[in-house]
Amino acid sequence: MYAVRYHEAGGPEVLQYESIDRPEPGHGEVLVEIEAAAVNPVDAKLRAGSDPGAPKTTGSDLAGVVVEVGEEVAGFEPGDRVFATGLHTGRFTGGSFAEFAAVPTDLLALLPEAVGFEAGAGVALVGVTAWRALVDHAGVTPGESAFVHGGNGGVGHVAVGLADAMGVSAVCTARPEYHDALEGLGAERVIDYGREDLLEAAREATGGADVVLDHMPDEYIEADVEIAGIGGDVVIIAGEETTFPTTFPARSKELDIHMMSMSNLSRHPGMPDIAPILEALAELVADDRLEVVIDRTYPLEDGAEAHRAVMEESVLGKVLVVP
């Protein structure tokens, strides 16, 4: 089979489209013929860093059809449409930028006929991230408000739609060209992230947000605290290391600051299972209560260009590769 792999850390140019052996499903795994795979910033960061697993097939989530099942597998059989995420936790035999992947069943869910493969791949990682931020960490309830930085991004646009589906008022930031689309996805208000009065506009729109989702804490953590209402939650869903200022008013507002990780999901006690979250997301998409926007797709052999685009270009929703 063909896959997109890197043998050393570096820029997109280290990715190679090459022929490798097709994996065999191990104990508790199924072999999936991949129909679509999403491109995520975490994929590019792993590629650029000193990943000890190289050579490694890039890619973190997928959608496709089960072609073979391993030992002790229940609930899946050849011909099932499925989608999955969690690859970058080291749980997959290989990555998702490939024609086939062997996937542990606890990171997998059935994909309803009403949901296309591209939507399934597109929602997997970002949907689990948004769900865990809003539900597992912030514990949002209907009638509350959420403020989402970068509403046009992969996680951002799903978080906006998911909040709306849960009866939570979603306010987000984005460039002006994305405002109409995000309102169509369920945002009550979209604010230009570049405006000088961002804090005032966010506070006015939310009344003090019950939850703030941030993927750039090094830039926005102080603003997050200002935007959040008393007793609110700030969930850090991505980003590099950040330093909390010494004059940090989070305590005076009774805020909870959550440093969320997607690493090692379904592997350690206390971490949530991915499969039930995927099942819930699939139901929402199938019922037209959650929309997954696909900005563009690339053929598998152009995986390096897909990596470059997701890190260097502004997009609405998700970028995919299709074998």
Considering the domain architecture, whether residues 191 and 67 belong to the same structural domain is answered as no
| Residue after which a domain boundary falls, among 259, 277, 309 | 259
Identify the band that residue 264 occupies on the pLDDT scale cut at 50, 70 and 90.
Answer: very low
CATH classification at residue 206: 3.40.50.720
Calculate what percentage of the chain has a pLDDT beyond 90: 75
Contacts of 77 (CB under 8 A, 6+ apart): 66, 69
Same domain, 183 and 215: yes
Contact by Cβ (8 Å): 71, 65 = no
Q: Which helix H or strand E contains 101, and what residues bound it?
A: strand 100-104
Q: Are 188 and 305 in the same domain? A: no
What are the tens digits of pLDDT across the range 93-119? 678 999 999 999 999 999 999 999 999
Same domain, 78 and 195: no
What's the DSSP call for residue 23? Answer: P
Domain hosting residue 13, numbered range: 2-111+293-322
DSSP conformation letters of 265-301: TTTSTTSPPHHHHHHHHHHHHHTTSS---EEEEEEGG
In a domain, 274, yes or no: no
Same domain, yes or no, for 40 and 164?
no
At residue 262, the pLDDT reads 63
Query: How does pLDDT run across 298-319, given as a tens digit for each residue?
Result: 999 999 999 999 999 999 999 9
Local structure of 251: helix, strand or coil = helix
Are the CB atoms for 210 and 138 separated by under 8 Å? yes
pLDDT band at residue 222 using 50, 70 and 90 as cut-offs: confident
- Please state whether the predicted TM-score (pTM) of the whole model is above 0.85: yes
Domain count, the chain: 2
234 strand-pairing partners: 212, 257
Q: Would you say residue 212 lies in a domain?
A: yes
Tokens 């990780």 found at? 261
d(CA 57, CA 16): 9
Residues 132 and 255 in one domain: yes
- pLDDT digit string, tens, across residues 251-261: 678 889 898 87
